[in-house]
């Protein structure tokens, strides 16, 4: 049996579908990816889809596998995913959006008098189920994000400053001379409270990927940094704080980014200065 395929219509249909799914995924992920990038990734993925569709002499199962890989490539291109955890989350939410959209379309077809593959009840249950699962994932992620925000007390002389701090595993900023880990704090939170220009406490730390590709960050040493986490108080003597000129987060939920090595080394009883095998990146 032979079929006539209008490739322009197939391309347009697949492009619209891909854009809608990526937009839903962006909403679920709360991503800031631009609409332009969504359209670009959808167009690239749709072009690849059409090429795979027109490939001759390939079995149906192989094409299904290639279509799945095409969807993963489109996701990666749209959201510039670099970690396996984020990629798995994006895949789950992308397919959740697909099931949610399919359920809604089936319900609309039934309401329009057409006979879909599923009944209205089945489609509605499918949509509700997938939507509930997506909301559960989002709430779980929100709670997980909140769990790594802790209270930090900065002490220098008679001054005590309490800030909300994020424990960020991506912070691998070190002082290249003393080899000590460096936390990042908003400069405005310390100005006028802690002296920032004392020569023996002043540092210059090279960094990359913090608002710029490369640069030099001012840093200051304080007498004590206390971190309250899970009912315990960890004390870090002579902590180094990198001074960030802007806000570390637009939401204002925290004003400081803690170096994970500080907590790990204190918990395991190791010397902080002895642990540095990574490049400076925040």
Q: Is the pLDDT of residue 206 over 80?
A: yes
User: Is 168 part of the annotated catalytic residue set?
Assistant: yes
- Residues 71 and 166 placed together within one structural domain of the fold: no
Residue in 8, 156, 158, 168 annotated catalytic:
168
- Residues 55 and 160 placed together within one structural domain of the fold: no
Mean pLDDT of 156-184: 85
pTM: 0.45
Express each pLDDT in 232-263 by its tens digit. 788 889 999 999 888 888 778 889 988 888 77
Q: Tokens standing for 119?
A: 């009944």
At 195 the pLDDT is 83
For residue 42, the enclosing domain spans 1-80
At 120 the pLDDT is 46
- Residues 156 and 68 placed together within one structural domain of the fold: no
Tell the burial category of 218 from Cβ atoms under 10 Å away from its Cβ (0-12, 13-18, 19+).
middle
The total of structural domains in the chain comes to 2
Instruction: Return d(Cα 87, Cα 257) in angstroms, integer.
Output: 24
Instruction: Please give the residue that has the higher pLDDT: either 10 or 180.
Output: 180
β partners of residue 207: 215
Express each pLDDT in 16-59 by its tens digit. 888 888 888 888 777 777 888 888 988 988 888 888 888 887 88
Residue 280 belongs to some domain of the structure: no
Contact 98, 72 (CB under 8 A): no
- Residues 153 and 263 placed together within one structural domain of the fold: yes
Contact 63, 55 (CB under 8 A): yes
Residue 2 belongs to some domain of the structure: yes
Instruction: Return d(Cα 119, Cα 17) in angstroms, integer.
Output: 22
* Domain of residue 210, CATH code: 2.40.70
């Amino acid at each position: 049996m032979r079929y006539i395929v209008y490739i322009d219509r197939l391309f347009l249909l697949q492009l619209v579908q891909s854009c809608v799914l990526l937009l839903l995924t962006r909403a679920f992920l709360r991503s800031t990816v631009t609409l332009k990038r969504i359209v670009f990734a959808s167009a690239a993925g749709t072009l690849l889809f059409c090429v795979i569709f027109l490939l001759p002499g390939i079995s149906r199962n192989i094409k299904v596998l290639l279509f799945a890989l095409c969807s993963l490539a489109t996701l990666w291109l749209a959201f510039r995913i670099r970690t396996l955890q984020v990629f798995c989350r994006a895949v789950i939410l992308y397919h959740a959006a697909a099931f949610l959209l399919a359920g809604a379309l089936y319900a609309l077809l039934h309401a329009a008098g057409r006979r879909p593959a599923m009944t209205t009840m089945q489609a509605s249950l499918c949509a509700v189920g997938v939507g509930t699962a997506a909301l559960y994932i989002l709430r779980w992620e929100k709670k997980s994000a909140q769990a790594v925000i802790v209270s930090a007390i900065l002490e220098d002389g008679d001054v005590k400053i309490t800030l909300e701090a994020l424990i960020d595993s991506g912070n691998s900023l070190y002082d290249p001379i003393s080899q000590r880990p460096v936390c990042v704090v908003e400069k405005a939170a310390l100005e006028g409270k802690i002296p920032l220009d004392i020569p023996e406490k002043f540092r210059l730390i090279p960094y990359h990927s913090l608002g710029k590709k490369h640069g030099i960050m001012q840093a200051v040493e304080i007498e004590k940094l206390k971190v309250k986490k899970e009912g315990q108080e960890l004390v870090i003597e002579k902590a180094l704080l990198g001074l960030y000129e802007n806000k570390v987060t637009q939401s204002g939920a925290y004003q400081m980014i803690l170096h994970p090595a500080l907590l790990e080394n204190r918990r395991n009883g190791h010397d902080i200065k002895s642990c540095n095998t990574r490049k400076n990146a925040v």
